[in-house]
């Protein structure tokens, strides 16, 4: 039984305990343990002993779950200090630097979403989706950023992954939706479909995206309703942006509605972000938790097959990591 320690903690610290308790409840019976990286939220530097205690407590919970099997521990994403994250964001205008290389176990990411015993209710609270910068997203994305947000090997890994799972180029009747799109979608070179729609915040970026046949400027945090008919798209992509969505279950429900039955939704992400605009549960957790968080969006939106995860990182530890969490729309919704 995990309980709050008796020591005097601030309400912020208690909230973090509560979040970990809820995440530990989501862990799967394979014994995959999430090891928390030290989260550093806007000027509130949590004491490291607090986090040591939390990690230990979660490990105990997991060991109980796995019975006599050896508990495996994922140590993903060495995380980042406030300054490393800050520099990464600032770097988006000048060519962002990679975070510290991650030490990872091969195949560990793929295990994270296997046989998860999801709690009945969505385990996150409204404060988990708050951002440090709560000003309208339209302000933050007002000026175009003609930059890439992940390094070239990560982009190449994503394009290669797409080339394996996308319908063949130029397949009649195929439509693709790129959510949180910009001037690049990282589709395989020369890839085309009759209809490729981008939804994003900056019109100049979207206009310049060569794979899009049309685009919509829409703030999904203000209006999660997608302006498309039911059962329209074969594939939905979202690259390094799922962490900016503050009403993820609403957006994922909409994704399900507009996907054709059997259609594929691919959420990909690395370990960097515009820190002030990412939701607090993202900035306070590491890569393994991110996989779990995105998996939970699919699960709680309903209408999707159980989500799966894949680590497509090109050169673990040497270039940006790249993870994919994906699912298909169930045929029986």
Size of the site for ligand SAM (CB under 6 A): 17
From the number of C-beta atoms within 10 Å of its C-beta (0-12, 13-18, 19+), residue 214 rates as exposed
CB-CB contact of 144 with 204 (8 Å): yes
| Closer Cβ to ligand SAM, 65 or 238, answer by number | 238
Instruction: Report, in Å, the least distance between residue 28 CB and ligand SAM.
Output: 29
Residue 189 sits at the vertex; the CA angle it makes with 162 and 298, to the nearest 5 degrees, is 20
CB-CB contact of 254 with 265 (8 Å): no
CB-CB contact of 133 with 86 (8 Å): no
Q: Return the closest-CA partner of residue 20 out of 32, 2, 40, 8.
A: 2
CA distance 29 to 68: 12
CB-CB contact of 123 with 22 (8 Å): yes
Based on the shown chain and the rule CB under 6 A, indicate whether residue 241 belongs to the binding site for ligand SAM: yes
Based on the shown chain and the rule CB under 6 A, indicate whether residue 220 belongs to the binding site for ligand SAM: yes
Based on the shown chain and the rule CB under 6 A, indicate whether residue 239 belongs to the binding site for ligand SAM: yes
| Closer Cβ to ligand SAM, 250 or 305, answer by number | 250
| Closer Cβ to ligand SAM, 240 or 265, answer by number | 240
CA distance 275 to 8: 29
CA distances to 100, 181, 224, 298 from 199, in Å = 31, 6, 11, 19
Show the binding pattern over residues 92-121: x = contacts ligand SAM (CB under 6 A), - = does not: ------------------------------
Given 184, 197, 211, 292, the residue binding ligand SAM (CB under 6 A): 184
Based on the shown chain and the rule CB under 6 A, indicate whether residue 201 belongs to the binding site for ligand SAM: yes
Instruction: Report, in Å, the least distance between residue 189 CB and ligand SAM.
Output: 16
Q: Return the closest-CA partner of residue 178 out of 265, 248, 269, 296.
A: 265
Q: Return the closest-CA partner of residue 227 out of 237, 215, 238, 239.
A: 215
- Subset of residues 129 to 148 that bind ligand SAM, contact rule: CB under 6 A: 137, 141
| Closer Cβ to ligand SAM, 57 or 319, answer by number | 319
Q: Return the closest-CA partner of residue 2 out of 32, 26, 31.
A: 26
Based on the shown chain and the rule CB under 6 A, indicate whether residue 226 belongs to the binding site for ligand SAM: no
| Closer Cβ to ligand SAM, 13 or 181, answer by number | 181
Based on the shown chain and the rule CB under 6 A, indicate whether residue 295 belongs to the binding site for ligand SAM: no
Given 161, 244, 297, 323, the residue binding ligand SAM (CB under 6 A): 244
Based on the shown chain and the rule CB under 6 A, indicate whether residue 272 belongs to the binding site for ligand SAM: no
Given 182, 193, 308, 313, the residue binding ligand SAM (CB under 6 A): 182
Given 33, 181, 285, 328, the residue binding ligand SAM (CB under 6 A): 181
Given 19, 27, 240, 325, the residue binding ligand SAM (CB under 6 A): 240
Residue numbers of the site for ligand SAM (CB under 6 A)?
137, 141, 149, 180-182, 184, 200-202, 219-221, 239-241, 244
């Amino acid at each position: 039984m995990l309980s709050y320690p008796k020591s005097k903690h601030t309400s912020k610290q208690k909230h973090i305990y509560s979040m970990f308790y809820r995440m530990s409840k989501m862990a799967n019976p394979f014994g995959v343990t999430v090891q928390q990286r030290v989260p550093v939220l806007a000027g509130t530097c949590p004491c490291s002993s607090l986090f040591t205690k939390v990690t230990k407590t979660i490990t105990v919970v997991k060991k109980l779950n796995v019975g006599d099997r050896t508990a495996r521990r994922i140590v993903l994403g060495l995380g980042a200090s406030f300054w490393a994250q800050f520099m990464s964001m600032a770097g988006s205008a000048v060519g962002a630097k990679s975070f510290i290389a991650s030490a990872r176990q091969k195949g560990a990411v793929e295990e994270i979403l296997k046989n998860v015993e999801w709690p009945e209710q969505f385990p996150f609270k409204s404060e988990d989706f708050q951002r440090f910068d709560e000003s309208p997203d339209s302000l933050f994305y007002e000026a175009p950023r003609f930059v890439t947000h992940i390094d070239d090997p990560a982009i190449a890994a994503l394009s290669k992954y797409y080339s394996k799972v996308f319908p063949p180029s130029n397949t009649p009747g195929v439509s693709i939706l790129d959510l949180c799109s910009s001037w690049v979608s990282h589709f395989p070179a020369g890839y085309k479909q009759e209809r490729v729609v981008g939804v994003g915040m900056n019109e100049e970026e979207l206009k310049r995206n060569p794979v899009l046949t049309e685009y919509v400027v829409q703030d999904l945090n203000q209006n999660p309703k997608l302006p498309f008919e039911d059962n329209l798209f074969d594939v939905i992509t979202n690259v390094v942006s799922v962490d900016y969505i503050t009403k993820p279950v609403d957006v994922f429900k909409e994704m399900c509605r507009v996907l054709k039955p059997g259609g594929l939704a691919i959420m990909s992400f690395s370990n960097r972000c515009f820190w002030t605009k990412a939701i607090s549960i993202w900035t306070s957790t590491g890569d393994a938790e991110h996989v779990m968080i995105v998996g939970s969006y699919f699960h709680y939106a309903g209408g999707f097959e159980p989500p799966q995860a894949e680590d497509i990182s090109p050169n673990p530890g040497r270039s940006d990591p790249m993870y994919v969490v994906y699912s298909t729309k169930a045929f029986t919704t």
